[in-house]
A and B are shown apart, each in its own frame.
Chain A
Amino acid sequence: DTAVSQTPKYLVTQMGNDKSIKCEQNLGHDTMYWYKQDSKKFLKIMFSYNNKELIINETVPNRFSPKSPDKAHLNLHINSLELGDSAVYFCASSQDRGVLFGQYFGPGTRLTVT
């Protein structure tokens, strides 16, 4: 039983396209996150939703738009993809803010923009 799942696992697309990555968690958590791991392996938070409300919105281009239809889902839509968007994107979830008991990560989506 996968706790945090992401689709697709790999995504190859051309510059200028629009794409979405989906995330679902079955842990009953109330907070979900999107992280980006760049080529230097830094894992950086992009967004966080708590009970469908946006609570963290880091300095991310507004081409990136998260959408949370319910507590168990947090999707990431990216418009006008650029080469620099190539990275691994991780979804995560936690109960409350998850700083002491950790956040549970999905397997990642490797996005390659050509």
Chain B
Amino acid sequence: DQQVKQNSPSLSVQEGRISILNCDYTNSMFDYFLWYKKYPAEGPTFLISISSIKDKNEDGRFTVFLNKSAKHLSLHIVPSQPGDSAVYFCAVGSGNTGKLIFGQGTTLQVKP
């Protein structure tokens, strides 16, 4: 029973354009939402997070949007760069437990 879904296994965009990665979750009790980036043969790297009291958080080229009513979050990368090519995982968690539940990832390819 998947509580976190990333329905697009892959995404390809042109350098300089916007990349939009999406994630849906099922349980409205989650209160923290995170994005991780993973290169081959490396561990995931934390990118950006947002708590349930906000609907947007921005850090440089990365912005995370949270739509609680739709149980949906997205990651916008603009402008996209070839070095952004990686697998992106969304993760949801509860501040009480510290447990993170991950989606299965979206592979982003940014073409020069």
**Known contacts A99-B94, A100-B32: A45-B43 contact under CB 8 Å:** no
B41 CB within 8 Å of chain A:
yes
The B-contacting residues of A in range 90-114, CB under 8 angstroms, are: 90, 92, 94, 96-108
Q: Do B43 and A99 touch (CB < 8 A)?
A: no
Q: Do B97 and A108 touch (CB < 8 A)?
A: no
The interface residues of chain A lying within 8 Å CB-to-CB of B45 are 105
Binary A-proximity of B18-45 (CB < 8 A = 1, otherwise 0): 0000000000000110101000011111
The B-contacting residues of A in range 38-67, CB under 8 angstroms, are: 40-45, 48, 50, 55-56
17 further interface pairs, Cβ-Cβ under 8 Å (given A41-B87, A99-B95): A41-B105, A43-B89, A48-B98, A56-B97, A92-B43, A97-B96, A99-B32, A99-B34, A99-B49, A99-B98, A99-B100, A100-B51, A100-B95, A102-B49, A105-B36, A105-B43, A107-B41
Query: What 3 pairs across the A-B complex have the smallest Cβ distances?
Result: A97-B98, A102-B46, A105-B43
